[in-house]
Amino acid sequence: MEKRNNRSRRTGFGALGLCVVASVVALCLMSVVRVVFYFSQHTALAGETTAVWPAFVRGVWFDAVVMCYVLIVPLAVGATCWALGYERRWTARAVAWWMGACYGLVLMACVANIPYFDYFRRTLNNSIWQWFAYPEQTLGMVTGEGTWVKWIAFYVLLLLAYVLLLWWMVRKTKVAVPYVRPERKVMLLRALVSAGLIGLCIFGMRGRTGYNPIKISAAYYCNNPLLNQLGLNPAFCLLRTTLDALRPENRALHLTDEARAVADVKRWLHRPGISGGSPIGVRVAGADSIKKLNVVVVLMESMSANLLSRHGGRGLTPFLDSLSSTSLYFSNCYSAGNHTNQGIVGALYGFPAILKRNAMKGSNVPLYAGLPTVLQAAGYQTMFFMTHESQYDNMNAFLRTNGFASIYAQEDYPRRARISHFGVPDDYLFQFALPRLGEAAKGQQPFFATLLTISNHPPYAVPPSFKARSTKAEEQVVEYADDCLRNFFMQARQQPWYSNTLFVLVGDHGKRLGETRYEVSESFNHVPLIIFGPGVEPQLRTDFCCQIDIMPTVLHLLGLPYTNESFGIDLLAERRPAAFYSADAVVCAHDSAALYIYNPEAEREFLYDVSTPAFHPLAAHTARTRQLRRYVLANLQAAEAMTRGKAQP
């Protein structure tokens, strides 16, 4: 018996060894499924010149993250048993059951993704839960459709092979009987190694060393949607989209009657809608002569209009003050929301912010028609420059999916250039962008570039070389941001492409300044909108407009034909009755006489007289309240309907 026990100590697997081997094998099986997925789509990739290997590298990356999520519990059990020298067959069985059950589900998602993608052209996501409401039809579809049979068989073979491996390893598990406690030094060493392994697994669950954990965006590296999604792990995508859908801000919005809202917006925008397309869409014919101008949009981080001298600022923005006096300047422009993601979608795609919802962060990347897509279709080279990492707010995936061919982010800059969690300062961003704009200008086609600044955002980081006049950090950074813009345009004017370029400068949103007189800080949405370039007459416009109006206005200046599916209007040909916007949990409508504020959660509304500087609340139950309320709620409810694909023309 003793001889047999000694032999059992020397041979076989422990729970920890079973964890390692089972995880490596599962990782290999997920890669096998990805290879099969790739070859199942070979006809769709015919003629594609983009390298495929980055998709497989990203695939292993995502698979490893899923592996770490599955591994963390059995690893803790196995590592503890190993550190204590306690090896029993029941621990191996428990680990095997866990691994088998988890990877049974993971492999099911990976294999099911192949026919799912073939039909929907999207990676497996939370939309499959809708089918569970109709179990008979769903089961009939899966069993009755011939294409599913081979994938079910493929899955069964993979799972059977994996289960047999687990069963064999359990049979080979070493059993230390009687239990002999290891020496203290050995236990301490094993405990340290175990802690290191568990820590490594936790890091693996995060997926990366950057500011944010791994997101769907990390799989996107080119403009081919199939290759971008090839690198995704379907189980990861399914879990992420399911969790995203459960977030409070992503729940369906019910502000007013949906059909009436869409009808109101169509009437206000004077649009017929497009049959089978956007219910508020219209096809714009364009001008007789198209201007092949370059377009540069600068989204200025937290640049409230209230920082400019003409709006009561403290002289912190001399360059913007000067530019606003010599350009087409809209003094009453309001951002879509009060977050950068909402500013990007508002300014470039003409869509309003739906309360506090992140417009780009969903794991199911939404498709928008906007400046990038229209200009890309017209032959423009499209570029986006940001200071921080490209995964932030899912920007990489969203922007590549919606018209941007080239993305420049923190990953492209040297580490020494970074000064905060948000990457490089504005000055470096502009200096990095200038030669690339010059290179793009040498091409046969014009370019469209968007530059997203960051310096006017906490934590305020002003390079020591910049000498500010103010002693306050929050004012110094505004001076610095303005000076970076001045330097950029001073150098841009010396470039041959400058005279053939249309420039748009707008705040992505504002910031809180001074005393907040209302339930929301008006300065957080009040942003400067400056447009200048060939064919643009300098003018001060005081009528109320929105950030979402930029896209139609720019396309009017270019004379391009396009389909306007946005909520924006052409400010050179139309006028808004009021500006409307979101500020996290509240929505607002603003005209020259009044500011209407509504909090859907509290079901409270407020109306203020803004025709004079004095703070003056008005009676809430008036005709003006009803008018402004209907205007803002209808626009947001129609946006909600279009976002979820509910509205019809």
Question: Could you read off the pLDDT of 407-435 as tens digits, one per residue?
Answer: 999 999 999 988 887 889 999 999 999 99
Instruction: Indicate if the pLDDT at residue 313 is higher than 70.
Output: yes
pLDDT digits 0-9 by tens, 377-401 = 999 999 999 999 998 888 999 999 9
Q: In 270-339, which residue ranges form alpha helices assigned H by DSSP?
A: 318-325
DSSP 558: H
348 vs 342: CA distance, rounded Å: 10
Contact 335, 304 (CB under 8 A): no
Q: Which residue has the higher pLDDT, 464 or 264?
A: 264
Task: Give the pLDDT confidence score for residue 25 in this predicted structure.
Answer: 95
Residue type, 614: A
User: How many C-beta atoms surround the C-beta of residue 577 within 10 A?
Assistant: 13
HSE toward the beta carbon, residue 13, CA cutoff 13 A: 24
Instruction: Please name the helix (run of DSSP H) or strand (run of DSSP E) that holds residue 542, with its range, or none.
Output: strand 539-546
Instruction: Indicate if the pLDDT at residue 507 is higher than 90.
Output: yes
Phi, psi of 300 (to 5 degrees): -90, 115
| Local confidence band at 6 (pLDDT 50, 70, 90 cut-offs) | very low
222 vs 91: CA distance, rounded Å: 45
**Strands 381-385 and 447-452: what pairing?**
parallel
Share of the chain above pLDDT 70, in %: 91
Classify residue 403 by burial, with Cβ atoms within 10 Å: 0-12, 13-18, 19+.
buried
Two structure tokens written together for 406? 């080239």
Share of the chain above pLDDT 90, in %: 57
Q: In 493-614, which residue ranges form alpha helices assigned H by DSSP?
A: 550-558
Collect all residues with Cβ–Cβ distance below 8 Å to 37 and sequence separation of at least 6. 110, 113, 114, 117, 230
Instruction: Please name the helix (run of DSSP H) or strand (run of DSSP E) that holds residue 401, with its range, or none.
Output: helix 395-401
**Which single residue is written with the structure tokens 């929907």?**
120
17 vs 173: CA distance, rounded Å: 9
Cα–chain center distance at 544: 29
Instruction: Indicate if the pLDDT at residue 453 is higher than 50.
Output: yes
Two structure tokens written together for 234? 């379907």
pLDDT digits 0-9 by tens, 459-500 = 888 888 898 899 898 999 999 999 999 999 999 999 999 999
Collect all residues with Cβ–Cβ distance below 8 Å to 611 and sequence separation of at least 6. 592, 593, 594
pLDDT digits 0-9 by tens, 48-83 = 788 899 999 999 999 999 999 999 999 998 888 888
Collect all residues with Cβ–Cβ distance below 8 Å to 377 and sequence separation of at least 6. none
Q: What is the DSSP string of 75-86?
A: HHHHHHHHHHT-
124 vs 261: CA distance, rounded Å: 32
Phi, psi of 531 (to 5 degrees): -130, 130
285 vs 303: CA distance, rounded Å: 34
Q: ∠222-226-230 over CA atoms, to 5°?
A: 90
Instruction: Please name the helix (run of DSSP H) or strand (run of DSSP E) that holds residue 502, with its range, or none.
Output: strand 501-507
Sheet order of strands, 604-609 included: 579-583, 586-590, 594-599, 604-609, 616-618
520 vs 493: CA distance, rounded Å: 39
Two structure tokens written together for 457? 């955002």
Residues comprising the chain, all counted: 649
Task: Give the pLDDT confidence score for residue 621 in this predicted structure.
Answer: 66
Q: Work out the average pLDDT over 39-52.
A: 83
User: How many C-beta atoms surround the C-beta of residue 542 within 10 A?
Assistant: 10
Q: What is the DSSP string of 403-454?
A: T-SEEE-GGGS-GGG--BTTBS-HHHHHHHHHHHHHHHHTSSS-EEEEEE--
Instruction: Please name the helix (run of DSSP H) or strand (run of DSSP E) that holds residue 329, with its range, or none.
Output: strand 328-334
Q: Which residue has the higher pLDDT, 59 or 190?
A: 59
Task: Give the pLDDT confidence score for residue 4 in this predicted structure.
Answer: 45
Contact 302, 506 (CB under 8 A): no
33 vs 28: CA distance, rounded Å: 9
Residues paired with 330 in a beta bridge: 529, 541
**Which single residue is written with the structure tokens 């219910």?**
279
Contact 19, 179 (CB under 8 A): no
Two structure tokens written together for 550? 């930029």
Closest CA to 347 of 509, 542, 533: 509
Task: Give the pLDDT confidence score for residue 155 in this predicted structure.
Answer: 94
Task: Give the pLDDT confidence score for residue 585 in this predicted structure.
Answer: 83
Classify residue 78 by burial, with Cβ atoms within 10 Å: 0-12, 13-18, 19+.
buried
User: How many C-beta atoms surround the C-beta of residue 456 within 10 A?
Assistant: 24
| Local confidence band at 558 (pLDDT 50, 70, 90 cut-offs) | very high
pLDDT digits 0-9 by tens, 203-235 = 999 988 877 788 888 888 887 878 888 999 999
Task: Give the pLDDT confidence score for residue 648 in this predicted structure.
Answer: 35
pLDDT digits 0-9 by tens, 83-133 = 887 777 788 889 999 999 999 999 999 999 998 888 777 788 877 776 665
557 vs 549: CA distance, rounded Å: 13
CA–CA distances in Å: residue 85 to residues 1, 79, 187, 190: 20, 10, 8, 9
506 vs 334: CA distance, rounded Å: 10
Instruction: Indicate if the pLDDT at residue 366 is higher than 70.
Output: yes
pLDDT digits 0-9 by tens, 590-645 = 999 889 999 887 788 888 888 776 656 676 667 888 899 999 999 999 999 888 75
**Strands 328-334 and 586-590: what pairing?**
unpaired
